[in-house]
């Protein structure tokens, strides 16, 4: 095909830029799937800590008194966790470290092949290993020891001889693989510990734990059978044939301490599925300590039901529950040789369920760490792994193949009440989502079992953990978990535990004008499928959180005692019918009576009018107070505050504002605005008096009074603006201390000034007229808040009640605010009307007697005959609730928090405003609070609590959830409509189970949908351009069952190819908002921040909008509000195979796969109602993915990996160019350029393949791609995209001018984002060769240093290169950003110690790095580089 020379050169340059690229991988959002959960005292003897095992990371959390999960720390383990347990501290333990007294240890088995004991270090704020025990070689084979843990909870070890004159004492711990996803309660014996671990089948090993200071922790060990170790001296007389099958569950059976015994031999109960058997059985094993043997002593089996779990009753000394499908048996195992059943409960006749309990948190925002991003998910992901092991379709999670289905209920999760030694109580959940409680008591007649009614009904839980305070953490499989609390015999929902796994697809939307990317992710499965918006935001350090006792807050303010004070003195809280004033300091003390505020009214506004004079505005009047020294040291030295009040005549105040020497209030019905002043009568005696009032045609909706002080001198602005042709838009001759800004119900915003000798006049006015395409006014455009701000000039910001934020600019008429304050006059001068036409329509002459209305008398210097018209230059939708604007200081240049349903930070950023998301939960009110202890504090009101936080100079991801239902599979962003297109499957509908829906990215509402046929399942979709419009091409499956055979070949199936057109409906209830503008249209149309169909990007160039001389058009910027769009069917055809992948190609074609074939398709005559297949290509196995870059096509084969093709347009033929050098089970693939592909596989790896060293002229089907580098994540990435979350804060502009920071990293061009089934988001960023060599040497030292080495004993190099042949010489490694990030957590001395390790002992460093790097490596150089990377990503 013909390609222009310019296109060829640009393609080659892009390819050259990526050739030899070296990458660093960093997990920016850790997975939310919790596969194991335990609780104990890890940080201190009194702390109630919970540890989540997330397969590749550990997270320690707590549940607060309000029932909200709070993250304490989370750390990568650089391995795969198999199971967790707790080694509880015992009084007879003797730790060498005194700080460990009373604190529990965490026991972990992992793919390192080691058993690890971990302690929590408060100084380093993370877990560290105490010891490792080698069990097997690293990996995940089924016959390897170390798969699951179980612990004896009550047994006592008496002292005995071991044949050598030594005396032993201990508890018992057993580990094996999880046959069913289970939740276990672990506790330990009173004296010592024994640990045992098992493989998935047949094998066991046990260890004796000694806590004596004079011995090692691991004292003795025994393997079963003995050939595991080949040491017959360790295990003698072992009955090798007792365990022949798969162990599903196990627990220890403790013995009564009061019974006489010659010695304690631990008894282990296991649920065993023997080879060839249909049902499972209970087998009891006994470890004879003296003889050092393990033998089976009894077994128990009943026909009919399948047993799947055994769990001991705590403090019962011989009783255990055996759970089966459909029932549960209470087993009496006190005589281990004769087990018997003493109680049976059928789950098919459980008590009736309660009618409740689904709590929807569809729009709650959670920040990346503390507020829920650590939360829980589905261990049914293990079932996906089972599919692969059984040879089923690895890409199909719709099929029920391989899952045991039964009409009988079974227990899926359970947890025992902690600390209850009298009556054991267990909470359990059955697979229908019902939660029950069983209480077991013992008397002379034996055990008594009491089963409760259903306490709660929700989703089926995969894990439960019952902790102190009656809280129950319920972890759901593939949806949000929850924290419940037991109150009065019922479980009450307290808070959600967010889980975004699995992420099945994502769309990364670039906002290059804002340098801010965000992700729309398809998360969860039916019935909890959701769309999550993941964006980067400013991180907050949480300093204080109060109890949730502040219900009904209507307003919150901080007030200084003096104008010049640096810190705030009072915090004012307004409630519906009450006001409280608290002192600001180390403790917030109620000083309402000492300040003088009226406590039995709701405060509308408050502030300081002069030093020591505090004003309260409420509905009935205005109160001036002089606080006493009890409230503040600078108060009046009297016992009671002195107060004076002013009351309007027979009218209520609706709102007000307080400024220096001025008070402005407004009323409604009738609509008046009052200007009040304060004057001194005598010592401590002041009077509030009216200076003027006018009647308005429209009610005032908000008022703000700018502070009189600038951070910079006025001359700075004048000098800076004179040379700027567009910056002369300032008001001349107006006192900045005498102006205020209002919003009205007209709707409009107005800038007014008041001078005693001139009266009130309007300086500028801006009408808010936003209409839809039919000319109907958009609702909700009333200003909720308004502010005068200074960036490079003065602007007016207005937050509307519909969640929009508008920015107005003064036109290019020369106006400047005077910085000099005129002398205050106690009287109000009259002002004649010079020209009746100059009177704004918003004001009318009042009929009342008193101060008269003043006409607008514009200064003659301006040569303007009327008020200035404010021009609307920017609009942005930031939420769905009213927008409040809260400056963080008194300066006009201050940063502003824009608070809607989520908070945003507005900052000045080089001739524009920067909008940055704040990583905090939804809040109703916010105010800055500055004290000596916390000079930069911010106080949020959220969930009836006060949250004192401080912004820190870093970024983190926060997540917003929109519930969709079903299983969202694919998501696309349609730029023209500003809508998200989401494919959903597994919908519970009678006429269809899959659809494609249009989703509003702001509110999450479903605007329209296209329903597929009954029995049809959506598989793929992509937007394809046809001339000037985009159509949606959809691939489906018309067949049930898997898409491929176990061999990887395609099954004989059918599918449909559908072409849909997205059309705008002319609906009277919807339309698009327009406002006139000229410049900036491109940026606003490509930004995702648009009204309801998206978001409006707030953009300012160096010149004002509507003022560029180069712009000749007057097109309006369209911002749709509840815009009605629908998907119309244009074309459909049936194909021989499921259409699993679609990809646009060369702007005029698209690629689509069916089975092991893929087609080059197009639209003849640019008609979307016709599709023609131009060429076909075939692979050996099922095609999983298709991607293209320019002319290159990359095909992902489910077994043969990635294959490169080229399409010859002239001959309409496909040519195979390069093949994958390895067999690879492809999950997703993208092309970085024509030569480089990045591919993820179903084994948890990601690889970079390239053909840059080959020439196409010599290419043949035998040519292999070159493996450039690979990285084992330990998680399956189902979707990989180009893009990043990196963006610059305004501080980045300052950093660019600092030494060592001149290279702020921009990752948007060559970065790769990978989202995984476990809910992780991993970034792969390209770095230079020099940076790679430096960091590779640092990483080689970190992986072996005791402070930073993998805590589970993994060989880091082996783990990250697993499932790959990348270890060959000369191939650069992808660096581990999580490992390198630990370097920044060390002290300077520790950093120097790490870098001082000799290079010669580090086998993982390449020889080129050893030669190129200087020795020693500079700590500052490493820190600067890592901080730049860390700052850009975090």
pLDDT in tens, 5-53: 444 444 444 444 455 678 999 998 999 989 999 999 999 999 999 999 9
CB 1189 within 8 A of CB 1077: no
Given this model, what pLDDT does residue 690 score? 92
Average pLDDT value for residue range 546-558: 91
Q: Which two tokens stand for residue 1384?
A: 């920044």
Q: Is 1358 left (phi over 0), alpha (psi -120 to 50) or beta?
A: alpha
Given this model, what pLDDT does residue 622 score? 96
Average pLDDT value for residue range 412-436: 90
Place of tokens 């600001």: 584
With a pLDDT cut of 70, the percent of the chain lying above it is 73
With a pLDDT cut of 90, the percent of the chain lying above it is 44
- Kindly indicate the confidence band of residue 523, based on its pLDDT and cuts at 50, 70 and 90: very high
What's the rounded Cα separation, in Å, for the pair 980 and 367?
Answer: 23
Task: Tell me whether strands 446-451 and 293-300 are parallel, antiparallel or unpaired.
Answer: unpaired
Secondary structure element (H or E) that encloses residue 1324, with its range: strand 1321-1327
CB 658 within 8 A of CB 677: no
What's the rounded Cα separation, in Å, for the pair 1368 and 1380?
Answer: 23
pLDDT in tens, 390-406: 333 433 434 443 334 45
Average pLDDT value for residue range 1129-1137: 95
Q: Compute φ and ψ for 594, nearest 5 degrees.
A: -80, -25
Query: How far apart, in Å, are the Cα atoms of 905 and each of 879, 889, 1112?
Result: 13, 13, 34
Contacts for 1433 with CB less than 8 Å, ≥ 6 apart: 26, 28, 1284, 1285, 1286, 1307, 1323, 1325, 1377
Report DSSP state, residue 354. P
Given this model, what pLDDT does residue 19 score? 53
Q: Is 370 left (phi over 0), alpha (psi -120 to 50) or beta?
A: alpha
- Kindly indicate the confidence band of residue 716, based on its pLDDT and cuts at 50, 70 and 90: very low
Q: Over 70: is that where the pLDDT of 133 sits?
A: yes
Q: Compute φ and ψ for 117, nearest 5 degrees.
A: -110, 125
CB 1043 within 8 A of CB 1140: yes
Contacts for 1101 with CB less than 8 Å, ≥ 6 apart: 911, 912, 1079, 1080
The set of long-range contacts for 1198-1201, using a CB threshold of 8 Å and a minimum separation of 24, is 1198/394, 1198/395, 1198/1044, 1198/1048, 1198/1225, 1198/1226, 1199/1048, 1199/1223, 1199/1224, 1199/1225, 1200/1224, 1201/1226, 1201/1239
Q: Over 80: is that where the pLDDT of 998 sits?
A: yes
pLDDT in tens, 444-493: 788 889 999 999 999 899 899 999 989 999 998 888 999 999 998 899 99
Q: How many CA atoms lie within 13 A of 215 on its CB side?
A: 15
Secondary structure element (H or E) that encloses residue 720, with its range: helix 714-722
- Kindly indicate the confidence band of residue 1177, based on its pLDDT and cuts at 50, 70 and 90: very high
Cis amide leading into 225 (omega within 30): yes
What's the rounded Cα separation, in Å, for the pair 998 and 1062?
Answer: 9
Task: Tell me whether strands 685-696 and 503-509 are parallel, antiparallel or unpaired.
Answer: unpaired
**Greater model confidence, 1199 or 359:** 1199
CB 126 within 8 A of CB 120: yes
Nearest alpha-carbon partner for 777 in 729, 745, 750: 745
Secondary structure element (H or E) that encloses residue 389, with its range: helix 381-389
Q: How many residues does this entry show for the chain? A: 1434
Nearest alpha-carbon partner for 1375 in 24, 79, 20: 24
pLDDT in tens, 838-881: 333 344 333 332 333 333 333 333 334 568 889 888 888 888 88
Q: Over 80: is that where the pLDDT of 1091 sits?
A: no
Nearest alpha-carbon partner for 747 in 814, 708, 792, 800: 800
Given this model, what pLDDT does residue 608 score? 94
Lowest mean pLDDT among 117-121, 651-655, 779-783, 874-878: 874-878
What's the rounded Cα separation, in Å, for the pair 938 and 926?
Answer: 7
pLDDT in tens, 78-100: 999 999 998 887 765 555 566 77
Average pLDDT value for residue range 1171-1183: 94
- Kindly indicate the confidence band of residue 1182, based on its pLDDT and cuts at 50, 70 and 90: very high
Q: Which two tokens stand for residue 259?
A: 């019974």
SS3 231: coil
- CA 980 to mean position of chain CA atoms: 19
Average pLDDT value for residue range 40-69: 92
Given this model, what pLDDT does residue 421 score? 78
pLDDT in tens, 489-513: 899 999 999 999 999 999 988 654 5
Contacts for 407 with CB less than 8 Å, ≥ 6 apart: none
Average pLDDT value for residue range 655-660: 93
**Greater model confidence, 395 or 635:** 635
What's the rounded Cα separation, in Å, for the pair 552 and 576?
Answer: 6
SS (H, E, C) 177-227: CCCCCCCCCCCCCCCCEEEEEECCECCEEEEEECCCCCCCCEEEEEEECHH
1408: number of Cβ within 10 Å? 13
């Amino acid at each position: 095909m013909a390609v222009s020379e310019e296109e060829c050169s640009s393609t080659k340059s892009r390819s050259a830029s990526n050739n030899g690229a070296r990458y660093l991988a960093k997990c920016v959002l850790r997975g939310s799937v919790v596969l194991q959960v335990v609780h104990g005292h890890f940080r201190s003897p009194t702390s109630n800590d919970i540890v989540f095992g997330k397969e590749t990371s550990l997270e320690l959390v707590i549940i607060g008194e309000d029932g909200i999960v709070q993250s304490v720390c989370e750390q990568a383990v650089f391995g795969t966790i198999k199971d967790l347990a707790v080694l509880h501290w015992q009084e007879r333990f003797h730790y060498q470290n005194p700080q460990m007294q009373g604190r529990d240890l965490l026991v972990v088995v992992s793919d390192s092949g080691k058993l690890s004991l971990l302690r929590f270090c408060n100084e380093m704020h993370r877990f560290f290993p105490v010891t490792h025990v080698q069990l097997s070689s690293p990996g995940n084979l089924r016959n390897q020891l170390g798969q699951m843990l179980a612990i004896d909870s009550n047994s006592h070890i008496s002292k005995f001889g071991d044949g050598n004159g030594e005396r032993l004492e201990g508890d018992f711990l057993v580990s094996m693989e999880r046959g069913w996803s289970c939740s276990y309660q672990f506790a330990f014996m009173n004296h010592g510990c024994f640990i045992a671990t098992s493989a998935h089948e047949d094998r066991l090993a046990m260890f004796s734990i000694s806590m004596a200071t004079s011995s090692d922790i691991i004292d003795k060990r025994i393997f079963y059978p003995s050939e595991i170790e080949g040491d017959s001296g360790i295990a003698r007389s072992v009955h090798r044939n007792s365990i022949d099958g798969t162990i599903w569950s196990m627990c220890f059976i403790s013995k009564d301490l009061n019974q006489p015994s010659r010695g304690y031999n631990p008894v282990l109960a296991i649920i065993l599925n023997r080879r060839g058997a249909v049902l499972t059985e209970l087998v009891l094993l006994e470890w004879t300590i003296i003889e050092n043997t393990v033998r089976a002593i009894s077994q128990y089996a009943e026909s009919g039901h399948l047993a799947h779990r055994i769990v001991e009753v705590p403090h019962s000394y011989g009783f255990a529950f055996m759970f089966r499908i459909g029932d549960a048996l209470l087993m009496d195992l006190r005589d281990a040789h004769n087990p018997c059943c003493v109680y049976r409960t059928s789950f098919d006749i459980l008590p009736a369920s309660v009618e409740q309990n689904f709590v929807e948190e569809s729009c709650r925002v959670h920040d990346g760490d503390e507020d829920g991003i650590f939360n829980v998910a589905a261990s049914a992901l293990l079932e996906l792994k089972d599919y692969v092991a059984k040879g089923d379709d690895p890409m199909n999670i719709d099929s029920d193949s391989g899952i045991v289905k039964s009409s009988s209920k079974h227990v899926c999760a359970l947890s025992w009440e902690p600390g209850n030694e009298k009556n054991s109580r267990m909470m359990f959940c059955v697979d229908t989502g019902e939660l029950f409680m069983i209480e077991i008591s013992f008397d002379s007649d034996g055990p008594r079992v009491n089963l409760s009614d259903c306490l709660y009904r929700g989703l089926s839980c995969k894990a439960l953990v019952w902790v102190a305070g009656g809280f129950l953490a319920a972890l759901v499989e593939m949806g949000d978990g929850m924290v419940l609390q037991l109150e009065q015999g019922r479980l009450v929902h307290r808070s959600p535990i967010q889980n975004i796994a699995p992420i099945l697809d994502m769309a990364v939307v670039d906002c290059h004008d804002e340098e801010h990317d965000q992700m729309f992710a398809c998360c969860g499965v039916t019935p909890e499928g959701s769309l999550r918006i993941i964006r980067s935001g400013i991180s907050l350090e949480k300093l204080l959180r109060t109890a949730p006792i502040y219900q009904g807050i209507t307003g919150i303010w901080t007030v200084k005692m003096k104008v010049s004070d640096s810190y705030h003195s009072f915090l004012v809280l307004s409630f519906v019918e009450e006001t409280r004033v608290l002192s600001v300091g180390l403790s917030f003390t109620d000083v309402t009576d000492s300040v003088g505020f009226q406590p039995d009214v709701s405060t509308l506004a408050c502030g300081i009018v002069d030093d020591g004079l505090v004003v309260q505005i409420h509905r009935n009047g205005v109160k001036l107070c002089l606080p006493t020294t009890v409230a503040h040291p600078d108060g009046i030295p009297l016992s009671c505050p002195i107060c004076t009040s002013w009351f309007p005549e027979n009218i209520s105040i609706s709102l007000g504002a307080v400024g220096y020497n001025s008070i402005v209030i407004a009323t409604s019905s009738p609509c008046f605005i009052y200007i009040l002043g304060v004057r001194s009568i005598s010592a401590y005696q002041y009077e509030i008096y009216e200076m003027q009032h006018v009647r308005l045609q429209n009610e005032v909706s908000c008022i703000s009074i700018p502070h009189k002080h600038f951070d910079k001198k006025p001359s700075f602005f004048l000098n800076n603006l004179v040379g700027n042709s567009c910056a002369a838009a300032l008001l001349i001759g107006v006192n900045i201390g005498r102006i205020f800004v209002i919003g009205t119900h007209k709707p409009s915003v107005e800038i007014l000034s008041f001078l005693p000798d001139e009266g009130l006049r309007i300086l500028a006015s801006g009408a808010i007229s936003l209409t839809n395409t039919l000319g109907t006014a958009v609702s909700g455009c009333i200003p909720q808040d308004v502010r005068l701000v200074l960036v490079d000039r003065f602007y007016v910001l207005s937050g509307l009640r519909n969640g929009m934020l508008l920015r107005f600019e003064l036109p290019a008429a020369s106006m400047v605010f005077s910085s000099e304050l005129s002398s205050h006059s106690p009287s109000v001068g009259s002002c004649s009307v010079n020209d009746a036409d100059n009177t704004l329509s918003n004001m009318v002459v009042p009929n009342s007697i008193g101060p008269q209305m003043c006409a607008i008398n514009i200064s003659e210097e301006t040569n303007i005959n009327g008020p200035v018209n404010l021009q609307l230059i920017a609009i942005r939708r930031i939420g769905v609730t009213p927008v409040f604007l809260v400056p963080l200081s008194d300066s006009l240049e201050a940063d502003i928090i824009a608070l809607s349903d989520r908070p945003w930070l507005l900052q000045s950023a080089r001739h524009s405003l920067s909008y940055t998301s704040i990583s905090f939960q939804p809040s109703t009110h916010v105010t800055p609070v500055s004290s000596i202890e916390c000079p930069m504090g911010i106080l949020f009101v959220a969930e009836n609590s006060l949250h004192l936080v401080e912004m820190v100079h870093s970024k983190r991801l926060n997540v917003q959830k929109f519930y969709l239902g079903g299983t969202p599979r694919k998501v696309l962003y349609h730029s023209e409509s500003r809508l998200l297109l989401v494919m959903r499957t597994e919908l519970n509908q009678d006429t269809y189970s899959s659809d494609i829906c249009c989703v509003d990215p702001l509110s999450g509402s479903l605007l329209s949908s296209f329903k597929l046929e009954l029995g049809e399942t959506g598989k793929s979709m992509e937007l394809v351009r046809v001339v000037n419009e985009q159509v949606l091409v959809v691939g489906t499956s018309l067949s049930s069952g898997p898409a491929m055979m176990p061999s990887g070949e395609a099954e004989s199936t059918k599918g449909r190819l559908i072409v849909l057109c997205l059309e705008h409906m002319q609906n009277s209830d919807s339309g698009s908002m327009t406002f006139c503008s000229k410049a900036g249209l491109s940026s606003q149309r490509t930004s995702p921040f648009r009204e309801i169909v998206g978001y409006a990007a707030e953009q300012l160039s160096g010149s004002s909008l509507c003022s560029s001389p180069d712009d000749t058009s007057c097109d309006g910027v369209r911002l749709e509000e509840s815009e009605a769009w629908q998907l119309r069917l244009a074309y459909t055809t049936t194909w021989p195979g499921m259409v699993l992948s679609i990809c646009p190609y060369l702007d005029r074609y698209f690629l689509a796969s069916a089975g092991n074939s893929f087609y080059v398709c197009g639209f003849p005559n640019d008609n979307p109602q016709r599709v023609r297949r131009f060429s076909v290509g075939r692979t050996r196995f099922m095609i999983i993915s298709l991607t293209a870059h320019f002319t290159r096509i990359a095909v992902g084969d489910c077994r043969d990996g990635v294959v490169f093709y080229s399409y010859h347009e002239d001959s309409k033929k496909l040519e195979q160019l390069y093949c994958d050098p390895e067999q690879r089970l492809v999950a997703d693939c993208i092309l970085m350029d024509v030569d480089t592909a990045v591919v993820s596989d179903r084994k948890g790896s990601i690889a970079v393949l390239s053909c840059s060293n080959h020439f196409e002229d010599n290419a043949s089907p035998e040519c292999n791609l070159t493996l450039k580098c690979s990285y084992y994540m330990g998680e399956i990435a189902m979707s990989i995209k180009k893009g990043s979350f990196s963006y610059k804060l305004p501080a980045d502009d300052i950093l660019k001018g600092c030494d060592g920071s001149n290279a702020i990293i921009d990752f948007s061009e060559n970065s790769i984002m990978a989202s995984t089934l476990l809910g992780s988001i991993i970034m792969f960023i390209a770095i230079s060769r020099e940076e790679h060599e430096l960091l590779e040497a640092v990483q080689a030292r970190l992986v072996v240093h005791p402070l930073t080495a993998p805590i589970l004993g993994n060989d880091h190099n082996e783990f990250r290169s697993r499932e790959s042949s990348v270890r060959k010489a000369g191939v650069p490694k992808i660096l581990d950003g999580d490992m390198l990030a630990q370097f920044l957590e060390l002290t300077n001395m520790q950093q120097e110690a790490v870098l001082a390790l000799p290079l010669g002992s580090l086998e993982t460093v390449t020889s080129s790095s050893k030669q190129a790097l200087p020795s020693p490596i500079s700590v500052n150089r490493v820190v600067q580089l890592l901080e730049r990377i860390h700052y850009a990503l975090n």
